[in-house]
Amino acid sequence: MHSIHSTDAESAQNLTRYLADEEETLKFGKKLAACLHSGLIIHLFGNLGAGKTTLTRGILHGLGYSHIVKSPTYNLVEIYKISGLYLYHFDFYRFNDYSEWEEAGFRDYFNSDSICLVEWPEKAGNLLPKADLQCFLNMFDSGRNIEIRSSTETGKQCLIHWNTEKNI
Ligand SMILES: Nc1ncnc2c1ncn2[C@@H]1O[C@H](COP(=O)(O)OP(=O)(O)OP(=O)(O)O)[C@@H](O)[C@H]1O
């Protein structure tokens, strides 16, 4: 059995990592993928260019997806299927209103067979189901970091998995 590693910056409820460059964001996403499973809803917060799509690309690579990962800015959602698992990558930056939500059938995307990663969740407001994990991609003059907070018991279990995983 592994012991739970924790520092001041991380506990079962949250973790923070410094991301030196794009490669490191990809690497972090790949490692995070090992803690994820179907049914999870993850909200990604961060300004334009903060690295939300890069993180998603890392997660997809970690799940075994080896093709191009595009930003969903224009389509609102990109759909990936990886060995029976669906991953929906939303970007609500250009989201307008409830009718758009209904027409696109977005409600149906949030089910137990999929992982949903949502950029700009604040633009869709309370139409979205509650997130299990909230990822904050922060940019400072001194560099970038990511902070992940769990907001459900399921999300908390993911971060416990991260903390107990060897070599992470
Ligand atoms: N940790 C990092 N350090 C430096 N550059 C990074 C880092 N992570 C990503 N980038 C670079 O930042 C740029 C923007 O990244 P990305 O498209 O992932 O941002 P985004 O948050 O999805 O943006 P948008 O909100 O516009 O969709 C890319 O050129 C990427 O290479």
Q: What is the pTM of this model?
A: 0.91
Exposure class string for 37-61: b at 16+ Cβ within 10 A, else e: eeebbbbbbbeeebbbbbbbbbbbb
52 lines ligand 1 (CB under 6 A): yes
Contact (CB, 8 A) for 141 and 112: no
Give per-residue pLDDT as tens, 89-126: 999 999 988 888 999 899 999 988 899 999 999 999 89
Give per-residue pLDDT as tens, 57-72: 999 999 999 999 999 9
Residue 162 CA, ligand 1 centroid: distance in Å: 23
ipTM, two decimals, is 0.96
Q: At residue 17, what is the residue type?
A: R
Q: Is residue 80, in this structure, part of any structural domain at all? A: yes
pLDDT value of residue 113: 86
150 lines ligand 1 (CB under 6 A): no
Q: Is residue 6, in this structure, part of any structural domain at all? A: no
What's the mean per-residue pLDDT of the chain?
A: 90
Residue having the nearest C-alpha atom to atom 25 of ligand 1: 48
Q: Which domain holds residue 116?
A: 29-164
Residue 3 CA, ligand 1 centroid: distance in Å: 34
pLDDT value of residue 2: 40
Residue 49 CA, ligand 1 centroid: distance in Å: 4
Q: Is residue 47, in this structure, part of any structural domain at all? A: yes
In this structure, what CATH number is given to the domain that contains residue 133?
Answer: 3.40.50.300
Q: At how many degrees (to 10) do helices 22-33 and 52-62 cross?
A: 50
Q: Is residue 81, in this structure, part of any structural domain at all? A: yes
For 64-153, list the strands marked E by DSSP. Answer: 77-82, 85-91, 114-119, 133-140, 143-150
For the chain, how many structural domains are there in total? 1
Q: What is the mean pLDDT of residues 72-89?
A: 94
62 lines ligand 1 (CB under 6 A): no
Q: Is residue 73, in this structure, part of any structural domain at all? A: yes
pLDDT value of residue 10: 60
